[in-house]
């Protein structure tokens, strides 16, 4: 597509990918459009809501603010990378931590970044960049605590 521009190579959900996309394209759009991984949602497009949260080298970032070029050589994890069998995914269902579900992929990935046995305070701080309009957050915190128990 672009001559002379090196293709970005990275590890995505454990597999190497090599996608020909413009280096300035948002990571969010490369995931959703070029890779058909639509689990990552666009809530605001300005880094305020966290719906587009993915993990880059284990750290949560807003995919709407990351240029494709900057994930070169990194390990990116999206909600699809959890394979539908992650304990957090089950806990979110059991505790009804999801209603409309638009914040849920971002919430789960942000929760994974908290590590094992986060305190309630750790959870609140760690999820401060993820907004939910439906649940009032309590069920989300319960789901995360349930997994850490």
Partner 1 sequence: MAGCTDLYVALNFGTLTGTKFLDLWPLERLKKINVKGDVLEIGALATYSDVIASRKAHKWLPMLIDAARQIGGPQIQNRGTIGGNVANASPAGDSLPVLAAADATVVLRNATDLRRVKLSEFYTGYRKTVRRPDELILAIEVPKQTGKQWFRKVGTRAAQAISKIVMAAVRDERPRVAIGSVAPTVVRVPRTEAALAKGSIEDAAATLAEEITPIDDVRSTADYRRTVTVNLLRRFWADTA
Interface residue list for partner 1 (CB under 8 A): 23-24, 26, 45-48, 50, 53, 56, 59-62, 64-67, 69-70, 72, 110, 113, 125-131
Which of 22/146 has CB closer to partner 1?
Answer: 22
**Closest distance of CB 15 from partner 1, Å:** 23
Give exposure, 63-92, as e/b (b: 16+ Cβ within 10 Å).
bbebebebbeebebbbbbbbeeebebbebb
Which of 29/95 has CB closer to partner 1?
Answer: 29
- The three-class DSSP label of residue 63 is helix
State phi, psi for 131 to the nearest 5 degrees. Answer: -100, 140
Which of 64/79 has CB closer to partner 1?
Answer: 64
- Please tell me the distance from the alpha carbon of residue 58 to that of residue 74, in angstroms, as a whole number: 10
Which of 130/135 has CB closer to partner 1?
Answer: 130
**Closest distance of CB 134 from partner 1, Å:** 18
- Using alpha carbons only, give the angle 121, 92, 109 rounded to the nearest 5 degrees: 65
- Please tell me the distance from the alpha carbon of residue 88 to that of residue 146, in angstroms, as a whole number: 9
**Closest distance of CB 61 from partner 1, Å:** 5
**Closest distance of CB 106 from partner 1, Å:** 9
């Amino acid at each position: 597509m672009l001559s002379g521009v090196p293709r970005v190579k990275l590890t995505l959900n454990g597999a190497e990918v090599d996608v020909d996309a413009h280096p300035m394209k948002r990571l969010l759009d490369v995931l959703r459009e070029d890779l058909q991984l639509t689990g990552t949602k666009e809530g605001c497009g300005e880094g305020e809501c966290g719906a587009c949260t993915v993990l880059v080298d284990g750290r949560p970032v807003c995919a709407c603010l990351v240029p494709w070029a900057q994930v070169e050589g990194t390990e990116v994890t999206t909600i699809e990378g959890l394979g539908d069998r992650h304990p957090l995914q089950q806990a979110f269902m059991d505790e009804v931590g999801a209603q409309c579900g638009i914040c849920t992929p971002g919430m789960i990935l942000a929760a994974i970044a908290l590590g094992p046995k986060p305190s309630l305070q750790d959870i609140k701080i760690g999820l401060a960049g993820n907004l939910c309009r439906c649940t009032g957050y309590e069920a989300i915190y319960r789901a995360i605590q349930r997994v850490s128990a």
